[in-house]
Structure 1
Amino acid sequence: MIKTRGYAAHSGDQPLQPFHFERRAPGAGDVQIDILYCGVCHSDLHTVRNEWNNTLYPSVPGHEIVGRVSAVGDQVDRLKVGDIVGVGCMVDSCQQCSSCAEGLEQYCDNGFVGTYNGHAFGGSENTYGGYSDNIVVRQEFVLHIRHTDNLAAVAPLLCAGITTYSPLRHWSVGPGQKVGVVGLGGLGHMGVKLARAMGAHVVLITTSPDKRDDALRLGAQEVIVSRDEDQMAAAAGTLDFILNTVAAPHDLNALLSLLKRDGTMTLVGAPAEPHPSPEVFQLIFKRRKLAGSLIGGIAETQEMLDFCAEHDIVSDIEMIPIQEINEAYERMLKGDVRYRFVIDMASLKDD
């Protein structure tokens, strides 16, 4: 077993605090990773506070992991000690169902194993995530990082990056398309960067007029303030695709009206409470589609990382020590971060 230090929540109403635990020693197909950086995702907060009513305690969050390989098993042939690698939202899946066979492990018919808050196959133990100094993962779920610098800002790509990249790729976003991105937070700012790099004309849709300048800096060519009825009316029926990243319940009807005939709005935000149901007429009169998308498979996540390295794309981040994680959660709830917190895991040595 490997002694591990991290931060954990022991109940939904308690702050994260130092936690010592053990991980398995690397098996034949496993990779042991010393964690350098871990992004802070809104899902971490939902889980820690049991807002989805499925939390296993103690809970060690973190699924945006960048680290250095420190040991490999005898059968590992894709990675070596010293490699810079990433781990995202999954650490295992059944590898036998049709979804896994197609490289869509996130839709595993038997349920993928989450990097944290997940039962391992064949056991009842709780998986512990990246708010820790090391992790052991089977090699099939470890990703190559080809960025050569700014590794802390690469970490959020492992969730925020793939969560926005996958639907953009699936719905073939590219040149000649006008694409709306709803919300300019951790997910939204990545959606803007990626859609622009894919060649689309990008329109940010936001409730906050003060986000206009930042949206343009990040790559948007237009900004629509959704509380402005005149702006929304002028944009009606103009968008080919909408990537909706907002993680709070909101009215979808006004956004659907922005789509052209046969346009699609895809939801990637995961609210704690359901969205109000949209009007059927918003869909049937223009043959519009309302869809959802969940992260991405391992092959697609590697594709995303390579795409981002090629286009010099990383997340806009604020680095914090692990000791400030509880304050970061409160700031995240207020939208007081541009645009993703990343934990410097070297700070664990100060506890």
Structure 2
Amino acid sequence: MWGLYMHVPFCPTRCIYCDFYSQSDSSLQDSFVAALCRELAIYHDQEPWAASPRTVYLGGGTPSSLPLPLLEQLMHQVRSLWSLDETIEITLEANPEDVSPEWAHGVAQLGFTRISLGVQSWSDETLRFLHRRHSAAQAERAISYIRQAGITNVSIDLIFALPEGYDRDWEESLAHALALPVTHLSAYGLTYERGTRLDRLRERGAVTPTSEETYVAQYYALVAACREAGFTHYELSNWARPGFVSQHNSAYWDGTPYLGLGPSAHSYTAGHRWWNVSDIHLYIESLLQGVLPIAEEEWLSPTELYEECVMLGLRTSQGIDLHRPELREAPLLERATPWLEQGLLTQTADDHLRLTHDGLIWCDRICAALC
């Protein structure tokens, strides 16, 4: 079992907080898809990728910026190499401004079963600040178009802990999102990544990050609102209605192998991780020569495998499986004792170590202590 991820690195404009690899030259789209099809062909008969993937995910960047014929070419290549089960989860990330009735019908015909929509906020003022290209009204229409096309699995992304002056819209945005016919919600606290325009604004004093108290209050308001709306909190930043947990993203947290293709994409299997060059020109040129565009690779040590098992497991509602072989040689329970005594961790009857409600906000600090 494994998951297939394809990174589509095109964005007409860059959001002020984004540090993912992307570029805006749409004239490279044809060459990029041809290169991606070659990369798929190289991997498809290698172990463990010879068996059909459990999930397929097109992320970015902005995959919805690819014209439908190129999406069709890409999905035709995937299906020509692997036999995909009819029930497989096939996700496409999209921005609301790209979604029309025709587009939604087209991607449904191509077999996409799940759309992940980058909404971020229901405040037009906040969307302009973030340099998003859609309005709140466009986001709402996009959800309607996707549902009308027969795709019922609709996920949306939201951002909380916005800078002072913009953070006041959070609870309104959240209530609006949960009232819509969506099946999954991902919500992230805004981060100030080095090299982004947002971080430069912070350095100049043009924006003031929200306080820690506001961050905590907004996160717990999110937890409570999702629970009340019938969403299961299955990972620190992810909620789903029953039956709509993201199968693809879950692979990242439970150690399932995944193959990442496209510029900057990461892959993992059995303690081996590698990633592609973060340059579309080098990516295309390498594959034209029949060479995989790998930038670097690493084999995780026993200590690193332990740390990843702790970090990823603790983020999920199931918690850390104490029977995982990666944990056998470390005094995990001894390290966890202070947090268990404070009521921030709990040990379940089936030997899982997981965060309590009060411990959710302390996940990073607890992970550091356990590692």
Same-fold status (TM-score > 0.5): no
TM-score between the two structures when normalised by the length of structure 1: 0.26
TM-score between the two structures when normalised by the length of structure 2: 0.25
Higher helix share: 2
Kindly indicate whether structure 1 or structure 2 has the higher relative contact order, using CA contacts under 8 Å at least 6 residues apart: 1
Higher strand share: 1
